[in-house]
Amino acid sequence: MKALLLEGKGLWEEMKIGEAEKPKPQKGEILVSVHAAGLNPVDYKTATGGNPNWLYPHILGLDAAGIIEEIGEGVQGWKPGDKVVYHSDLTKKGNFAEYAVTTAHAVSRIPDSITFEEAAALPCAGYTAYQSLFRKLHIQKGQTILIHAGAGGVGGFAVQLAKLAGLTVITTASSQNHEYVRSLGADYPIDYKKDDFVEKTLEITGGIGVHSVLDTVGRDNATKSLKALAFNGQLAFIAGQPDFSQAVSFAHPLSFHMVALGSAHQSNNLAEQTDLSVMGDEMLKLIQEKKISPLLEEVIALEEVPSALKRLSERAVKGKIVAKLI
């Protein structure tokens, strides 16, 4: 089969299309004919550091949508010809290829009204946003939330989901993306390049601070965000934990939530793995009902993936990029 091959640790910008062995589904797995594969920052990040479970050439790509080609032993509820979308295990070969295998209990069925490209834009970023808001932060109507990087994948889905749930949404974004994040539901965009987001957040909330923060940027940003939280506020982080030495205070009690979506695959926790499909089903329903957007901004060819990942690494992308294979 044709696949985009990573020849060694850190060589993701040099990936080329080559031939790879077509995988076979094992017990509990399905073989998928990949029609579209989503791009995510985790692709270039893991490729840079490598993984001890990988054998080179490796195939990147965690998000895919396609048609089941074959089912492995013990798979129930699925059959060849079913359309599915999923977030796969980063320790195994990925989806920048004509065919891929994944665990059957972690996939979601794609409704006929949603394209493969739209579906492939969803898993990593969408499920992370969903898990952060509803499994970790347990957001409630009437609350206020600060979502960092609202023009990005996770941030864009989170802005939409939080607004749909009845929250007041503050988000950081460069000024040229303010109209875009407002279209997603943001009430108060903050230009992080020009303004201090803590000062602006406190100004917006009358000095009280927000109930929750979703940080998608990094350790320093997460640490600074602590000052934007209200009494009993909570922080969910996906790109680095805050400096807890600055976070524990009897006078300003806070709660913290680490979000690591894909590690469910390595957890041996069947319920958490199956929850990937539950979150997928719920978000596909919201897209089908046009309550949220899949954030699909660009569809590219497989050979364009390295240059697109380069743009992702430079934080020069809004929404989602998807590679179309068929």
Q: Which pLDDT tens digit goes with each residue over 2-38?
A: 999 999 999 999 999 999 999 999 999 999 999 999 9
Please indicate, yes or no, whether residues 132 and 252 belong to a single structural domain of this protein.
yes
pLDDT value of position 29: 98
Please indicate, yes or no, whether residues 132 and 253 belong to a single structural domain of this protein.
yes
Please indicate, yes or no, whether residues 92 and 22 belong to a single structural domain of this protein.
yes
* 55 Cβ neighbours under 8 A, 6+ residues apart: none
SS (H, E, C) 235-264: EEECCCCCCHHHCCCCCCCCEEEECCHHHH
Please indicate, yes or no, whether residues 176 and 244 belong to a single structural domain of this protein.
yes
Give the chain's domain count: 2
pLDDT value of position 60: 98
61-65: average pLDDT? 98
Q: Which of 242, 259, 276 is the last residue of a domain?
A: 259
Q: Tell me the CA distances in angstroms from 245 to 53, 225, 241, 242, 257, one per residue in order.
A: 34, 14, 11, 9, 16
Please indicate, yes or no, whether residues 86 and 113 belong to a single structural domain of this protein.
yes
Instruction: Report yes or no: 198 and 175 within 8 Å, Cβ to Cβ.
Output: no
Please indicate, yes or no, whether residues 101 and 209 belong to a single structural domain of this protein.
no
Phi-psi region of 64 (alpha: psi -120 to 50; beta: other; left: phi over 0): beta
pLDDT value of position 316: 78
Tens of pLDDT, residue by residue over 70-87, are 999 999 999 999 999 999
Please indicate, yes or no, whether residues 113 and 30 belong to a single structural domain of this protein.
yes
pLDDT band at 320 (very low <50, low <70, confident <90, very high): very high
User: Residue 200 maps to which CATH number?
Assistant: 3.40.50.720
Mean pLDDT, the chain, whole residue set? 97
Q: Which of 259, 277, 298 is the last residue of a domain?
A: 259
Please indicate, yes or no, whether residues 195 and 277 belong to a single structural domain of this protein.
no
The pTM for the full model equals 0.97
Q: Is the model's pLDDT at 247 over the cut of 80?
A: no
Structural domain including 134 reads 126-259
As beta bridge partners, residue 108 has 85
